Amino acid sequence: MNPENAKRRIEELSDKVNYYNEQYYIYDKSEISDYEFDQLLKELNNLEKEFPQYKLPHSPSSRVGGDITKKFPVVKHEYPMLSLANTYTFEELEEFDKRVKKDLGLEQVDYFCELKFDGVAISVIYENGILTSAVTRGDGVQGDEITANVKTIKSLPLKIQNADYPKKFEVRGEVFFTKSEFEKLNKSREDQGEDLYANPRNTASGTLKMQDSSIVASRNLQCYLYYLLGEDLNIEKHEEGIKKLEKWGFNVSDSYRLCNGIEAIRNYINEWEHKRFELPVETDGIVIKVNSIKLQNKLGTTAKSPRWAIAYKYKAESALTELLKVTYQVGRTGAITPVANLNPVLLAGTTVKRASLHNANEIERLDLHEGDFVHVEKGGEIIPKITGVDKSKRSKTAKKINYISKCPECGTGLIRNEGEAQHYCPNDIYCPPQKRGRIEHFVSKNAMDIDSLGSETITGLIDKELINDIADLYYLKYEDLENLEFEAYSEKKGEVIKRRLLAKSARNLINGIEASKKQPFERVLFGLGIRFVGQTVAENLSNHFQNIERLSNASTEELIEVQDIGTRIAESLRAFFNDKMHLDLVERLKKAGLNFEIKEDNTGSNALNGAKIVVSGVFENFSRDGIKKSVKVNGGKLVSSISSQTDFVLAGENMGPAKLKKAEDLGIKIINEEEYLKMIEEK
């Protein structure tokens, strides 16, 4: 394709994909199949790689992230982002209404009411219909510019499709996790043996400030917009601004209402007090705004808050119920999670039977005793939590609850590493839930992706002693599986059921296991289930060390030099590879034909002529993986550690001091990003 045709096609594809994204994420319409959409996006990505000069600022390929931001620039807001004054009683709300009417000299005022979503405030600037920048609230006067991260939010338009927008305008809204996405994220962390995030709001805030936008993209943040600002808007009321946002394709919650006077506001508040729990996102109150923009300007602002708006905060839902007992769950990595089993109680629209206790510190802090009556709250939490104990109801003979010292599943003594809040069971090979969980993790979609192997079948294969670990999967035979009968607990039915593998299921399972051998090294590494090694860490390790031999022999110091690897992860890796049983497991998987190295790609140029290169630090023009792919495509050989055989070190910002010193001591040439670009461009 010639450059002129490529430019036209890129523009056409960008508009098409953005349009289909808007229809799907804003209007819940699927005008084309997932396959057709993926093909359009794939064609766009390929053209942008071949003709990068024509990639548009609103390209939907930016949704997947990949940009690395070393430091977020501080930007001054054109319009200050003031915080709202809060009120917790209807009497205080009546006082607000009286004050507004008195200051305006009016008998009645129209208010715009909307739900207050529990997320992170964001300001987004559009110029000529294209998203150009996004800034956090910060201190209200200035905030951090996080455009690359905000572009990954699929429900936020990168380009406005309609033609009646002003040259420049600003929208404000709330970025949040849906309840389901937050639960999914915590489930993933639990599977990796990591501490769970406490609540969606703080997690959304932390996610928006991550350096790697590809991680932000993977977390599927959402956004509701609620405010339009700018010149030449031709609106007289706040409601008109909201209608324009809806028309332009912004994601606006349809829960808003125009209320004429204080009684209408009361009805709106009462209506949503319980109905809000049916929404997919957490809410903590109602925002009330004077609808007329002329009247807003007349009322003005204080140093901190607008005088024309206020937030009514619902009280956190709380209930008192009896603690029946504390049980302990064993996760895939051996992490022990204590759970409070409660006398069922209605809370925030659902019946609560269990509450999280997190760890031993929380049990000690609450001073829990058997049979205590506890206060349970949902507040901003997805999982109910115990906030306190009514000690006036405690029996004089009640026994203090002490954290267990042995694994409830296998009886092994629990370990608690220094600096960690959680206990865990070290018997990772034979502890039943760890064994089962490790195999479930290994076959999961993001690891080996053996979708024909569900948890019930895994349980059956273990019980029939056909498998004991992940390597055993690759030595199963069709004859072992055909018409195999077993019993397994069904989560859906809540009971033990009898199962039998018919011939077709047995064949699908064998084929699925065989197909998984093609998965790349980073997914195999993630599938091993090493404690604290998630997808991103596994990818970084595989790119850095290239094969399992270099990784397994790396020292703690060498591991820490890798992007996103700290002492805790490094020590976990060393513990894994120092265990002979784990090494034997890896060896059996290698013999079965799994990938434990990254295959070199020599299809590109030979500008680097086979030079052995160590890459370290953060780069301006490349993502973490992009710089390494560039080295390989241009004929270079990536090596993980510096030695006398290293040709040169490609150093980015924040290069590891240990590597820098070693390179200097050995007299290895060190080049920066600019020198590297000249090197590959000249040849």
Element counts in the chain: helices (H) and strands (E):
24, 22
Q: DSSP state, 237?
A: B
Respond yes or no: is residue 244 known to be catalytic. Answer: no
Identity of the amino acid at 397: T
Task: Pull the structure tokens for residue 536.
Answer: 């991103």
Q: Distance between CA atoms of 588 and 106, rounded to whole angstroms? A: 81
Amino acid letter for position 193? G
Q: How many beta carbons lie within 10 A of that of residue 446, not counting itself?
A: 15
Please tell me the distance from the alpha carbon of residue 567 to that of residue 275, in angstroms, as a whole number: 46
Helix (H, G, I), strand (E, B) or coil at 196: coil
DSSP per residue over 90-134, as a string?
A: HHHHHHHHHHHHHHHT-S--EEEEEEEESSEEEEEEEETTEEEEE
Give the residues across from 283 on adjacent strands. Answer: 117
Element (H, E) at 376: strand 373-377
Kindly report the number of other CB atoms within 10 A of residue 669's CB atom.
11
How far, in Å, CA of 323 to CA of 372, rounded? 5
The CA distance from 637 to 625, in Å, is: 14
CA distances from 303 to 84, 85, 297 (A): 11, 11, 15
- Cβ neighbors of 11 (< 8 A, separation 6 or more) are 54, 56
Catalytic choice (116, 237, 378, 662): 116
Q: Under a CB-based contact definition with an 8 Å cutoff, are residues 152 and 213 in contact?
A: yes
Neighbours of 661 (CB within 10 A): 11
Six-digit token pair at 614? 């160590």
Beta-carbon contacts of 492 under 8 Å, excluding residues fewer than 6 positions away, are none
The token pair that represents 79 in the structure block:
């319009």
Distances, alpha carbon 155 to alpha carbons 42, 62, 104, 226, 411, in Å: 20, 13, 38, 14, 49
Nearest to 616 by CA among 659, 552, 575, 577: 659
d(CA 234, CA 238): 11
Tokens found for residue 300: 């003005």
Position 307, amino acid = R
Known catalytic residues are 116
